[in-house]
Structure 1
Amino acid sequence: MLTSVNLRDYMLTNPAKVNENVHLSEAMKSIIDNKVSGLCIVDDAGNFVGILSEMDCLNAILNATYNNIGVGKVSEYMIKDNILTASPNDDIVDIAQDMLLKKHRRRPVIEEGKLVGQVTCRQLLAAVNKFIS
């Protein structure tokens, strides 16, 4: 049975992440090794600064190949504007509804500017499964 609707109780507390200054190839390796479709991006102080999806990586590689140029740091390819985030104290039902409405697969969880977790469709399914069990 679902014992809480607090996002803190269901979020990933150590999501796959890389620093914004790493080379794109390192981020791609992290996506592959962690078997995820995207990464949270942090700065040197651990502040959340963006997201990078496998589609962003593929786009960068294809663009570099087509234009015969190299690829650079994650900061050149990550999404950094208009990213929806959540707070650990948010209601998981509200977050699930918003993610469904916006067709998002993941949402970074931020507290005082720091990345403290992430909620994905998998965590939402697990929470729902507890509720119906």
Structure 2
Amino acid sequence: MSPSVKLRDYLIPNPATVQPDDSVLAAMKVIIDNKISGVCVVDSQHNLVGILSELDCLEASLGSLYNDSGVGMVRDHMAASNLIVAHPEEDIIHVAQDMLAKNKRRRPVVENGKLIGQVTCRQLLKAITRFQR
């Protein structure tokens, strides 16, 4: 039997998340503790509202040092517009090609408006190894 090409079979279910009103410092702890390069930002109904990357956190941290201010809230530093998401029934090859074209390391997976998972380059590499056997 051939391996599945559906994203649903390779995504990280229930990825680490933060909320817009969380502090960037709290989000940094989630990123560090989970050894990930960014987090999905969700509202109280688990709708995806943004993405916060390590670079966003670094920029917020350096800005706070420069301006002698607090680091701020996730909502002030997350990417919230033009979010590119995937559907769990999408083909992993298409998603991988699009991630390469857009130079993105992760893609939230949304179904019926709710965040159900995330796919990263690492999951895609694991999927490719299944096809190489």
For the superposition of Structure 1 and Structure 2, which TM-score range results when normalised by the shorter chain?
Answer: over 0.9
* Residues 1-133 of structure 1 mapped to structure 2, 5 A cutoff: 2-133=2-133
Matched to 2:43, the amino acid is: D
Partner of 1:64: helix, strand, or coil? helix
TM value normalised by structure 1: 0.96
**How well do the aligned residues superpose, as a CA RMSD in angstroms?**
1.1
Check the 8 A contact 2:60/2:72 in 1, yes or no.
Answer: no
* CA–CA separation in structure 1 for the residues paired with 2:88 and 2:21: 27
* CA–CA separation in structure 1 for the residues paired with 2:112 and 2:72: 29
Q: CA deviation at 1:102?
A: 1.2
* CA–CA separation in structure 2 for the residues paired with 1:2 and 1:48: 32
* CA–CA separation in structure 2 for the residues paired with 1:2 and 1:72: 48
Post-superposition CA distance 1:79-131 (Å, at most 9, x none):
00111110001111100111111111000001121100000000000000000
Q: CA deviation at 1:71?
A: 2.0
Give structure 2 stretches of 5+ with no counterpart: none
* CA–CA separation in structure 1 for the residues paired with 2:73 and 2:98: 31
* Fraction of identical pairs, as percent: 56
Check the 8 A contact 1:84/1:107 in 2, yes or no.
Answer: yes
* CA–CA separation in structure 1 for the residues paired with 2:98 and 2:122: 15
* CA–CA separation in structure 2 for the residues paired with 1:2 and 1:84: 29
Partner of 2:116: helix, strand, or coil? strand
* CA–CA separation in structure 2 for the residues paired with 1:109 and 1:35: 20
Post-superposition CA distance 1:2-49 (Å, at most 9, x none):
521110011111212111111111100000000001000001111100
Count of aligned pairs between the two proteins: 133
Structure 1 stretches of 4+ moved >4 Å: none
Partner of 2:13: helix, strand, or coil? coil
Check the 8 A contact 1:2/1:127 in 2, yes or no.
Answer: no
* CA–CA separation in structure 2 for the residues paired with 1:76 and 1:100: 27
* CA–CA separation in structure 2 for the residues paired with 1:73 and 1:46: 18
